[in-house]
Amino acid sequence: MLRRLDKRRIATALSRYLVNPPVRALFRLGSRAPGTAILETIGRRSGKRRRTPVTDGLDGSVFWIVAEHGHRAAFVRNIESHPQVRVKVGRRWRSGSAQPLDDDPRARLRQVARTRRRSTVNAWVVRAMGTDLVTLRVDLDTG
């Protein structure tokens, strides 16, 4: 059985070097990987824009994210410092305000997978590789 720290390191390395680069490239080319979106945060120390592929959790004017590594994830720490974010679903950027929630992240993943059918594989990966799941709610600006 993998220790939590080892599992987090493996999952982070796989995301950073194997999964995220081609997903970002697809979005730059105007396409996307099925079931994914791009979350843009502001770096808590650098102030630079940071873009992270996430499961497509769009549900009306709310965008749901379940972070695999909870408050240890860089994008979660960025959100805690600067809650204003942007989310790119398809070809459209939408602005909003994000906040961590105290709910059942596994139930939230099931809800996202039901709402966004293509997100099922992504949700499974988050559950399998996650070490400390936490839900984030992004209230999207209207207009």
pLDDT tens string 87-107: 998 888 999 999 999 999 988
Q: Which CATH number fits domain 4-140: 3.30.565.10, 2.30.110.10, 3.10.110.10, 2.60.40.1180?
A: 2.30.110.10
Q: Which residue has the higher pLDDT, 42 or 73?
A: 42
The pLDDT of residue 48 is 96
Note the pLDDT of residue 99. 96
Residues 6 or more apart from 138 whose CB is under 8 A from it?
A: 62, 63, 64, 65, 85, 87, 96, 97, 98
Confirm whether pTM is higher than 0.85.
no
* pLDDT band at residue 117 using 50, 70 and 90 as cut-offs: low
